[in-house]
Amino acid sequence: MFIEEITMEEFKKALRKTKTILIPFGTVEEHGRHLPLSTDTMVAVEALKRVAEKKRVFIAPPIHYGVCTSTRQHPGTITIKPSTLRALTRDIVLDCYHKGLRNFVLITGHGGGLHINAMKEVAEELVEEIKDIKMAVVCPYTILYKELSEIAETENDSHAGELETSLILAIRPELVKGSSKEEYPTFPKPLIVRDKLKYWPGGVWGNPQKATREKGERVLNIIVKKLIEIIKEVEK
């Protein structure tokens, strides 16, 4: 059930069947020269759409903005601070709790470290503060790294590379504008550099030219299966 599509009466009735809500998090962020800026959001929403076909749960409208660090200087990226994401996440979860929901699965299509940590910090605080709340924070690319690596032909595939391009080919193929060259960031770690574009001009991490729609479908199937397992776990 997508919350934005139901009435308050339907919401009340549905609470008798489930107290689980899935909240998708995305970004407005560059994804090379070939993928849309909302790639992360699209992936999270599509995965939850497919979950909803198999499991009775509430699905919240997506949070379209996230914390972008390495890509924040690229054209089109619109980032927020970790503190903003923490506050937004906390407010949304708390008000959902006050409306009767108890099980929360936060899924992010964005794998940035500060972004995920902000979400996890809120979840950690809330499970300490509220006795009957259950929470999971899920980044598919992190928890399914092994399984997804077996699909990718590109070693160390990541941002706007083979798999993300495959996902958009499966979800919204008309939004894939050709391809981008194989590329990997060259940040001089552990230094924190001011000029991000100097070390990562194309904003691609991997080889999008190896992407296929079939790979995208395989990735989505793995993600959906894992999410259903996680939902069952939080509902125990």
Q: What pLDDT, on a 0 to 100 scale, did the predictor assign at position 142?
A: 94
Q: What pLDDT, on a 0 to 100 scale, did the predictor assign at position 236?
A: 87
Q: What is the pTM of this model?
A: 0.95
Is residue 51's pLDDT more than 90? yes
128-159: pLDDT as tens digits:
999 999 999 999 999 999 999 999 999 999 99
190-205: pLDDT as tens digits:
999 999 999 999 999 9
Return the amino acid letter for 46: E
How many other CB atoms are found less than 10 A from the CB of residue 5? Answer: 9
Domain span at 96: 3-234
97-117: pLDDT as tens digits:
999 999 999 999 999 999 999
Beta carbons within 8 Å of 55's beta carbon, 6+ residues apart = 228, 231
Return the amino acid letter for 218: R
Domain of 116, CATH number, reads 3.40.50.10310
Residue 206 zone, left/alpha/beta (φ > 0; ψ -120 to 50; rest): left
Q: Is 26 strand, coil or helix? A: coil
Terminal CA-to-CA distance of the chain, rounded, Å? 20
Q: How far, in Å, are 22, 106, 125 from residue 174 at the CA level?
A: 27, 28, 41
Number of domains in the chain: 1
